[in-house]
Chain A
Amino acid sequence: MSIRSLANRSVSILVSVGLTFLGLTCVTFFIGRVIPIDPVLAIVGDKATAETYARVRAEIGLDLPLPVQYWRYLLKVLHGDFGSSVITSHPVLQDLLQVFPATLELAVPALLIGVLFGIPMGVVAATHRGRWQDQTIRLLSLFGYSMPVFWLGLVGLLLFYAVLGWAGGPGRLDVAYDDIVPQVTGLITVDSLLAGEYEVFWNALSHLLLPASILGYLSLAYIARMTRSFMLSQLRQEYVLATLAKGLSPWRVVWVHALGNVWVQLVTVIALTFGSLLEGAVLTETVFAWPGLGLYVKNSLFNADLNAVLGGTVLVGVVFIGLNMLSDLVYPLVDPRARDQ
């Protein structure tokens, strides 16, 4: 890749990132201003006097024309200031740094489960097309696809927490372990290991596994389905027949040659799956009382806490942009053709 094309590419990435970012804030901002909920009322409550109401309205700048409000907001965001949340009284950025690790702690194991099991399952389904292996896997992923996660979560809690007692209940920790581990990364599993509090670690893990497995199952369902269909189209290619004819072992043909050609598409699928996991799974977080990004944004939305909603949306947008760039970077690793472009 020449310097010039590298520069061109960087500029085009930057421009597209900037435009996406602008569009994102613009749409969210104006939607937030036209919903029929009064954000001032959300702060002062129904019983405030006209004086208090007017003061708060001016304080949050709602008395200014909309474009001015937007411009001001944009300037602040560019300086890293998302304003303060009405509900938590903290700066939104601080809140996001608090809730995002909770979501991350769920999303990473969920993605691992999805990738580690989804891809082999997809491959097996494709190579055993129409046979019982394929039917079972398709049924499993159809189930994961179509069951409401809310229901899955409650049934999971009922079975593994209430009846069998194998998993921790709603929340990130048992009450007995609250406030023991100092917060470093915000990931309780990591923080407890750093602090050498192994009991807390196991407790955190027991609380994590059920919601993570359920989210993992959903990503597994998606990834397995996609892998199966990508693999099917590869296995129809002539080179597969050719390599088999040349005497290569079927195992090698499937898992090395065919799967190798599927990786490019899979990287995109995995990145998107991860993105949607990081968005915060509102329903899962509600059922499991998991104080993550999804719950935070939902709660802010219902309370007309516009700064928090905007902040959360911008964060999700940034995550998606980041993942897209990341998968762009990974393509050359899995596809030699992309290296020469």
Chain B
Amino acid sequence: MTETTRRLLLAGAAAVPFAGWVRIVDAAVPKDTAVFAKQVDDLISLDPGESYEISGGEIATNVYDRLLRFEAEDMTKLVGGVAESWTVSPDGKTFTFKIRPNLKFHSGAPVTAEDAEFSLQRVVLNGKTPAFLITQLGWSKANVKDMVKATGPDTLTFTITADLAPSLVLSLMTSIVASVVEKKVALAHETNGDLGNGWLKTNSAASGAFRLVSWKANESVTLEANPNFRLGAPGMKRVVIRHVPEPASQRLLLEKADADFARDLTPDQIKPLAGNPDIKVESFKAANTFYMGLNLGYEPLANPKVRQAMKMLVDYDGMVKTFLAGRFFVQQSFLPLGFFGAIAYTPFKLDVEKAKALLAEAGYKDGFAVKMAAPNTSPWTEISQSVQQTMGQAGIKVSIEPMELKAVIGQYRARNHQIAMLSWGPDYFDPHTNADSFVHNDDNGDNPKIKPIAWRNKWFIPDITKDMLAAARELDTAKRAEMYAGLQKKVTDEGPYIFMFQNNIQVARRATTTGYTPGISGDLSYFRKIKKS
């Protein structure tokens, strides 16, 4: 072989891997398909009787129709879903729902009261995580078949034994567990009496706006429009949620129009997008409460004056004006704004002098040392550092223990923390969901049946718990709101919590793809109004 041919051969071989880079097939996202680039690795199950992750709830709300709804058209108004109308008995214990006529499952079979009965019963009978949403009504494996009954082909009646306000019970019927599952299909795939749970984890038997086509773990979830949906066919024929773990990759996909929405962009990625006319970034109020839990089992924290002082040692405004800008705003209450009964309450500001005086009164003139468990990711790390710094100004030496989020929760549940920095998201659209956790502790023993947040911080409050439960069963709506206002002030002022922020969700989208709002919770994240021009 001559030198020249050898060189030619080598050069030719060197070009091989680059040849494929010539873009041969460039397929843009079709006009009738919307693509989300999102982290969906939290997805565990799509069975509405089991799913309890943010991503799962978001997909389930689009696939399954529920008894009642807060619809995309007006997210604050309770309206019928599968049920056309409903009545509540004067004692507030019996609820009767009339199922809409002519509703059809994706299979083509009619939606009946029997399906609705089966759907509620199987949640309780299977006893998976979200079952607590309706077992609090007084339903159990033993009694649910008597409590929830189809009393006619289009009539569902259920009875509750717990003392709960009707507005609360009706709110629960908009949550994931009130999704109506097609009984025949679920039972056809039953194994070992699981009422179809195993199959429904990755398949659907539903009547919602979209049909589940496929869920490939760590890859994508594909939904297809249900043209016969009761509120009309969705704007998009197909919605694909692609699991893109890296936010920078999400941004590139969005910029290249290979995705219509990027859901997990970080602030430093959002900033440069502001100048791009093809992309819009929108902020929506979300319902997570970011706070610190103070364990009263740790001596200094049991002192009310110390807690009062610590609440004045956080630079709330400084943080939301700088590194949390756009993503958080100050809300010092256990209820997020946007919820029934929530008040905008921000009594605490950074005030080192006042805090020092309070600490001196409490006998901690020189401060004390305290450990704080915090998740080891942004923005937790930045928030905890800011807190460490401002607390230090009054002599409180905070040592931060950064760890996996799940490890923080584990420590918190075992009451092994001194301070735990975490966030809390509501389970359904009613103030009771947060109240029942932040303001519920009438059994401070080591092994209670439930472990609400008040218990985790050893805040033993049998009297306030009673007030909280009274608010939950108050029939008069105006009075109920008033009761929650009082509770919020009391808990913020005296409780073992330093409430800091409520969050915003930032969604970046193609300018031409409109109609999506994430809603204050995953239950309200509707895809059916998405449009592309």
Contacts and interface: CB of A to CB of B under 8 A. Distances in A.
B256 A169 contact: yes
A61 to B, nearest CB: 17
Contacts of B13: 116-117
Contacts of A158: 252
B243 A50 contact: no
Interface of B: 10, 13-14, 17, 20-30, 33, 35, 41-45, 52-53, 127-129, 131-132, 135, 198, 201-202, 213-214, 216-220, 222, 240, 242-246, 248-249, 252-253, 255-256, 258, 403-404, 406-407, 409-411, 413, 427, 447-451
Contacts of B132: 47-49, 52
A101 interface: no
A291 B410 contact: no
Contacts of B253: 169-170
B240 A175 contact: yes
Given A45-B52, A46-B409, A174-B258, A55 B249 contact: no
A209 B20 contact: yes
B252 A157 contact: yes
Contacts of B14: 117
B351 to A, nearest CB: 33
A259 B92 CA distance: 88
Contacts of B29: 174-176
Contact of A88 (B135, B217, B240): B217
B21 A160 contact: yes
Given A98-B217, A174-B258, 15 more contacts: A36-B403, A36-B407, A42-B406, A46-B409, A47-B132, A87-B43, A117-B14, A154-B248, A165-B26, A169-B249, A169-B252, A203-B24, A289-B244, A289-B249, A291-B217
A206 B127 contact: no
A37 B252 CA distance: 34
A73 interface: no
A261 interface: no
Interface stretch (A3-11, A140-148, A299-307, A321-329): A299-307
Contacts of A2: none
Interface of A: 36-38, 41-52, 55, 85-90, 95, 98-99, 109, 113, 116-117, 120, 154, 157-158, 160-162, 165-172, 174-179, 199, 202-203, 205-206, 208-210, 212-213, 216, 286-289, 291, 295-296, 299, 302-304
A64 B219 CA distance: 35
Contacts of B24: 202-203, 205-206
Nearest to A112: B17
A103 B74 CA distance: 46
Contacts of B427: 47
A45 B41 CA distance: 15
A95 to B, nearest CB: 7
B410 A41 contact: yes
Contacts of B129: 44-45, 47-48, 52
A212 B448 CA distance: 54
A161 B410 contact: no
Given A52-B128, A209-B21, A299 B256 contact: no
Contacts of B409: 41, 46
Contacts of A154: 246, 248-249
Nearest to B20: A209
10 contacts: A36-B403, A41-B410, A45-B52, A48-B132, A88-B218, A109-B17, A161-B256, A176-B29, A176-B30, A287-B246
B252 A162 contact: yes
A179 to B, nearest CB: 7
Nearest to B35: A175
Contacts of A116: 13
Contacts of B17: 109, 113, 209, 212-213, 216
Contacts of A42: 406
B245 A289 contact: yes
Given A209-B17, A291-B216, A302 B404 contact: yes
A261 B193 CA distance: 65
Contact of A162 (B198, B256, B406): B256
Contacts of B244: 170-171, 289
A36 B413 CA distance: 13
Contacts of A161: 252, 256
Nearest to B243: A289
Contacts of A43: 44
B328 to A, nearest CB: 21
Given A48-B129, A48-B132, A179 B213 contact: yes
A209 to B, nearest CB: 4
B524 to A, nearest CB: 19
Given A45-B52, A47-B52, A178-B220, A37 B410 contact: yes
A206 B23 contact: yes
Contact of A171 (B22, B53, B242): B242
Nearest to B50: A89
Contacts of A88: 217-218
A249 B217 CA distance: 57
B115 to A, nearest CB: 23
A88 to B, nearest CB: 4
A203 B14 CA distance: 22
B217 A37 contact: no
A291 B243 contact: yes
B191 to A, nearest CB: 13
Contact of B23 (A41, A89, A99, A167): A167
Contacts of A179: 213-214, 222
B249 A157 contact: yes
Max count, chain A CB within 10 A of own CB: residue among B52, B128, B218: B218
Given A170-B253, A289-B246, A89 B201 contact: yes
B406 A175 contact: no
Contacts of B33: 175-176
A162 to B, nearest CB: 5
A178 B218 contact: no
A178 B221 CA distance: 11
Contacts of A46: 409, 413
A300 B243 CA distance: 15
Contact of B217 (A41, A44, A90): A90
A38 B119 CA distance: 30
A224 B472 CA distance: 71
Contacts of B44: 43, 86-87, 89
